[in-house]
């Protein structure tokens, strides 16, 4: 991450206030949402890195970014926010998340859907990516975080 203060991944759709252990908006864990402002830069960077890795895993299984420069240019022209130092696959998600109903030719953005997804419309693809990203975040929480909290409570 750059030397500037690391911004929150929050997208303004927090579900942790309703009791979710993983936010349906940003996919952070409840304790990360609650404690974010107390985290140092390294802790924040690690949260962002986990979110990026999980999202890239999901997006790469559905599309190919064949021209990252073109994608970057299109995002900038359309003033769609993206994190420049992250993977172009996270940029592709931002494009689809913001413009799913407006995009006619995905290849004009440096992106092509993988063969098994070429018949999907972009809003359905966006929703599938978001749902899978959430499920991976939940699985990560259940596998790595929840056992530590249980051990701490017992211990």
pLDDT band at 151 (very low <50, low <70, confident <90, very high): low
Residue 23: what pLDDT? Answer: 94
Percent of the chain scored above 90 by pLDDT? 82
Tens-place pLDDT, residues 5-15: 889 999 988 88
Confidence category of residue 122, pLDDT binned at 50, 70, 90: very high
Per-residue pLDDT for 148 more than 80?
no
Tens digit of pLDDT for each residue in 39-92? 999 999 999 999 999 999 999 999 999 999 999 999 999 999 999 999 999 999
**pLDDT exceeds cutoff 70 at 140:** yes
Q: How far apart are CA 146 and CA 29, in angstroms?
A: 10
Q: Is the pLDDT of residue 107 over 90?
A: yes
Give the pLDDT score at 4: 52
**Domain spans of the chain?**
54-154
- Rounded-to-integer distance, Cα 71 and Cα 50, Å: 23
Q: Which tokens belong to 139?
A: 């699985």
**Rounded to whole angstroms, how far apart are CA atoms 143 and 146?**
7
Asked if the model's pLDDT at residue 130 lies above 90, the reply is yes
Length of the chain (residues): 155
Are the CB atoms for 85 and 2 separated by under 8 Å? yes
Q: Residue 2: its pLDDT value, please?
A: 46
Phi, then psi, of 140 in degrees rounded to 5: -60, -45
pLDDT at 49: 97
């Amino acid at each position: 991450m750059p030397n500037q203060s690391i911004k929150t991944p929050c997208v303004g759709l927090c579900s942790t206030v309703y009791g979710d252990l993983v936010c349906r908006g940003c996919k952070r864990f409840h304790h990360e949402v609650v404690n974010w402002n107390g985290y140092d830069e390294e802790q924040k960077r690690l949260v962002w890195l986990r979110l990026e890795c999980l999202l890239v895993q999901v997006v790469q299984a559905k599309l190919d970014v064949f021209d990252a420069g073109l994608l970057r240019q299109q995002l900038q022209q359309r003033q769609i926010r993206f994190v420049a130092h992250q993977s172009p696959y996270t940029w592709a998600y931002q494009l689809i998340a913001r413009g799913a109903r407006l995009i006619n030719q995905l290849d004009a953005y440096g992106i092509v859907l993988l063969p098994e997804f070429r018949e999907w419309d972009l809003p359905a693809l966006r929703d599938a990516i978001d749902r899978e990203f959430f499920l991976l975040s939940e699985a990560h929480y259940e596998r790595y975080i929840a056992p530590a909290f249980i051990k701490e409570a017992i211990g």
